[in-house]
Chains A and B, each alone.
Chain A
Amino acid sequence: MPNDLNAKIEKHTIAVVVDNEPGVLARVIGLFSGRGYNIESLTVSEVDPVQRLSRITIVTSGTRMVIEQIKAQLDRLVPIHKVRDLSDDEKPCIERELALVKVVGTGEKRIEALRLADIFKARVVDATLTSFVFEITGTGDELNEFAGLMSQLGMIETSRTGIVAIGRGPGGF
């Protein structure tokens, strides 16, 4: 935005409740690509099978003006029910991500991987004599840290869900 060339770039987590109908996700993603907004993470799943509502969690970054624009643009999409900026809450929202991490190796490295997994509270969900698949849940930073360590211990593959988030306290959406 020409108005605020020096404005700070902020990272925001935005939750959106939408009708679970074909094309909704394309609409949201198209909005971001068409208008040049960033998507750092995007997750979506149905949360209310009766009313057929899905919840999309988007992590994005931009100046305050851009973030406000993103929310307004999302809100005007016809099948969108509610938009909420979880980063605007007084207390930081709860953010979680799940990763599956495959580590291949034998001997000392294998034992070290298992030891670190224990420290990070990662579960072993698959094991062979030469490999583990760990399941780990945590913040994005925790997952990054875990993956960073595992990459030195034979990590050959990782799959992450992207961030889901919810506000703290008794208040609802």
Chain B
Amino acid sequence: METEGRVVMSDQKLTGADIVLKALRDQGVELIFGYPGGAVLPIYDALFKQNDLRHILVRHEQAAVHAAEGYARSTGKVGCVLVTSGPGATNAVTGLTDALMDSIPIVCLTGQVPTHLIGNDAFQEADTTGITRPCTKHNYLVKDVRNLARVIHEGFYVARSGRPGPVVIDIPKDVQFAEGPYVGPHEIRHKSYRPQVKPELAKVEEAIELIANAKRPIFYTGGGVVNSGPLASKLLTQFVHMTGYPCTNTLMGLGAFPASDPLFLGMLGMHGTYEANLAMHGCDVMICIGARFDDRVTGKISEFAPGSKKIHVDIDPSSINKNVAVDLAIIGDAGHVLEDMIRIWKARQKRPDQAALKAWWAQIELWRKRDCLRYQKTDRIIKPQYAIERLRDAIRGIDHYITTEVGQHQMWAAQFLPFEQPNRWLTSGGLGTMGYGLPAAIGCQLAHPESLVVDVAGEASIMMNIQEMSTAVQYRTPVKVFILNNQYMGMVRQWQELLHGSRYSESYSEALPDFVKLAEAFGAVGLRASKVSEVDDVIAEMIRVKQPVIVDMCVDPKENCFPMIPGGRAHNDILLGPSDTTEDATPEEGMVLV
């Protein structure tokens, strides 16, 4: 089946399995994350006979999707997954939902039972397109091999265009065996899907007037800037500098604006900085670019940035006015919109109101002086924040990527680690998937073999996909699992402490493994620090070892993550530390919020 390097005429026939691989190659796929099974054996057989596409065998299909997400998020390319029918597909569902929530481009190929068995409850049959319909941007069941090449190219187009997302292509086994024609990616034009990427200029002009006349402005920017590509981050930085306005990032947007920039206020939201949240609360013009007014960002909607004019730039029209009514909506890709904003700002020779801006910054400096990320430093016990700070200092100057699991450690990483560039911070934001970080780190490491990739983890989260240590060892991906081990599902415990009378229902991590021995059992390196004096040495050793490493950082089990805006509260109700914690931290209606 030698077809490379030649124009494939439509009368040339390939098997479905070969069409799949050829289409993937033509889409620029280098890595496939997957797990074989009965219904994808023809594709695995075709994989065996070629050397262009590298297959990474994960240990659970959920991890295949997270690894592809790590690859996609750190490269800007589409991540590719291959799993079998039934349990293969259902196991992938969490990863697909994660990618949907965080707008990560993924194409997931699933095997399916042969077409004549569909609907018969065949062995390992599941209604994959039915199950994945709400957790994908789009999905397909290919019943005819003549449509296969077109559908795969279309799938990649849909996954990466507009607001990116996961696409499932379900391929019955008989279609993989059948012979059909191949069409290349350039012969495909989608019938209906053409998302708007260029903004309406009149709207951008209107926005520029609002921005230029602002007295207390703030840029609130998110993952949409990262998804637009590195140029969008450069343009954002340029535009923010032209205005001199403060800028805050969402969890998904960290790195889109350099953390070290004096105009940066840090992350906003539930565990965001005091200055970012108070600036959001007090602003008169909010410039939201590629963020979606998530409940973790807005807090109490009715008291969110009261009295402010809100400009919302988003590629997805359904994000507009979904949670918060805005005054000016601009549909378009963040990069294109920023380009137009800069051009119009320059052409109209706009100058910010310097007197107002000076007063605004003076106010922000007062908020900054609260030093909201301070914590009690001690030699007695390793504070989790201290461990992250030492990690931060140790990796400064080393080319690195950070992934996380979900919980307190994730928030501390977001607060304390500075991201100067986009695509360096990989975390499960929307879905909050424990178990995301290790497979995402593996996917990221495979894309960046020379870089340092650290999964900042918790001891509970890491157990959700710990089996992927085996993948890391097999492919010699020297990922570093940096566990802040506080022996609790820390964020659950924190909420129980604040909202449920310190009744720590099921949140204690009972019967934990010895993580050092566990690492060794996988053939990786295990390190432990239980005293403050050991922290630096362990981190240095972790970086030095060119192998997968698990670090068991035994931290203060009682530490909570501050600042915190309790559920149902407004930005200015932020709690700065344990002493701020009051009995009625959360109103009744806030209790029901998650």
Contact = CB atoms under 8 A, between A and B. Distances in A.
Interface stretch (B18-26, B78-86, B175-183, B313-321): B313-321
A23 B302 CA distance: 38
Contacts, number: 51
Interface stretch (B59-67, B131-139, B391-399): B131-139
Interface string B295-319: 0000001100000000000001110
B512 interface: no
Contacts of B376: none
B134 A72 contact: no
Interface stretch (A42-50, A78-86, A113-121, A130-138): A78-86
Interface in A7-50: 19, 22-23, 26-27, 30, 34
A75 B317 contact: yes
B134 A65 contact: no
A69 B302 contact: no
B570 interface: no
B553 interface: no
Contacts of B578: none
- Max chain A Cβ within 10 angstroms of own Cβ: one of B141, B320, B321: B321
A19 B323 CA distance: 30
Contacts of B129: 23
- Max chain A Cβ within 10 angstroms of own Cβ: one of B130, B162, B193: B193
B348 interface: no
Interface string B164-205: 000000000000000000000000000111000000000000
A26 B317 contact: no
B138 A65 contact: no
Contacts of B545: none
A3 B192 contact: no
Contacts of A79: 138, 191-193
Given A3-B324, A72-B318, A73-B318, A80 B192 contact: yes
- Max chain A Cβ within 10 angstroms of own Cβ: one of B139, B141, B163, B191: B191
A2 interface: yes
Given A2-B301, A76-B317, A78-B158, A69 B322 contact: yes
B242 interface: no
B117 interface: no
A1 B318 CA distance: 14
B133 A27 contact: yes
B325 interface: yes
B411 to A, nearest CB: 25
A65 B329 CA distance: 14
- Max chain B Cβ within 10 angstroms of own Cβ: one of A27, A73, A78, A81: A78
B321 A65 contact: yes
A128 to B, nearest CB: 39
Interface size, B (range): 20 to 34
Contacts of B163: 76
A92 B195 CA distance: 30
A57 to B, nearest CB: 18
Interface residues of A, number: 23
Contacts of B320: 72
A158 to B, nearest CB: 31
B301 A69 contact: no
Contacts of B193: 78-79
A67 to B, nearest CB: 11
B279 to A, nearest CB: 22
Nearest to A26: B133
- Max chain A Cβ within 10 angstroms of own Cβ: one of B192, B302, B323: B192
A23 B133 contact: yes
Contacts of A34: 134
Contacts of A81: 191-192
A24 to B, nearest CB: 10
A68 interface: yes
Given A75-B317, A76-B316, A76-B318, A30 B134 contact: yes
B301 A72 contact: no
A78 B137 contact: yes
A34 B163 CA distance: 20
Contacts of A27: 133
Interface string B505-523: 0000000000000000000
Contacts of B134: 30, 34
B138 A3 contact: no
A79 B191 CA distance: 8
A3 B133 contact: no
A79 B193 CA distance: 7
A10 to B, nearest CB: 15
B192 A2 contact: no
B325 A65 contact: yes
- Max chain B Cβ within 10 angstroms of own Cβ: one of A69, A75, A76, A81: A76
Interface in B186-236: 191-193
A34 B135 CA distance: 11
A4 B324 CA distance: 10
A129 B325 CA distance: 62
Contacts of A72: 317-318, 320
B296 to A, nearest CB: 15
Given A23-B133, A30-B134, A3 B317 contact: no
Contact of B138 (A22, A68, A75, A78): A78
A2 B302 contact: yes
A34 B136 CA distance: 13
Interface in B538-558: none
A34 B130 CA distance: 13
Contacts of B162: 76
- Max chain B Cβ within 10 angstroms of own Cβ: one of A27, A72, A75, A81: A72
Contact of B141 (A22, A69, A80): A22
B130 A68 contact: no
16 contacts: A2-B301, A2-B302, A3-B302, A3-B325, A4-B325, A23-B129, A23-B133, A30-B133, A30-B134, A65-B325, A68-B321, A72-B317, A78-B158, A79-B191, A79-B193, A81-B192
Interface of A: 1-4, 19, 22-23, 26-27, 30, 34, 65, 68-69, 72-73, 75-81
Given A65-B325, A72-B317, 19 more contacts: A3-B302, A3-B324, A22-B141, A23-B133, A23-B141, A26-B130, A68-B321, A69-B321, A72-B318, A75-B317, A76-B162, A76-B316, A76-B317, A77-B138, A78-B137, A78-B158, A79-B193, A80-B192, A81-B192
Q: Identify the 7 closest CB pairs spanning chains A and B, nearest first.
A: A72-B318, A78-B138, A2-B301, A81-B192, A72-B317, A78-B193, A73-B318
